[in-house]
Amino acid sequence: LRSPHCTLETLRLSFCGVTEEGCTHLASALSSNPFHLRQLDLSYNYLQDFGAKLISVHQDDPLCKLEKLW
């Protein structure tokens, strides 16, 4: 996700055991390359409020192309 050459548009990580720490890494990757990812599925993980907030903050970024987050 961090690579400027990444063209991934959909990332499905449901039921993968993603935690708040994982959200920190995902949020960092989204910050460094917000241009391509359009759908991110984090359903049925262990995000807690803090982890979910880290990811959802990027939806307000005008450069972020994320359209669907679940």
Domain segments of the chain: what residues?
10-69
pLDDT tens-place string over residues 2-34: 888 888 899 999 999 999 899 888 888 888 877
Q: Yes or no: say if 26 and 53 are a contact pair by the CB < 8 Å rule.
A: no
pLDDT tens-place string over residues 34-62: 778 889 899 999 988 887 787 777 677 77
Q: Yes or no: say if 69 and 59 are a contact pair by the CB < 8 Å rule.
A: yes
pLDDT at position 9 is 92
pLDDT at position 5 is 87
Strands 39-41 and 10-12: parallel
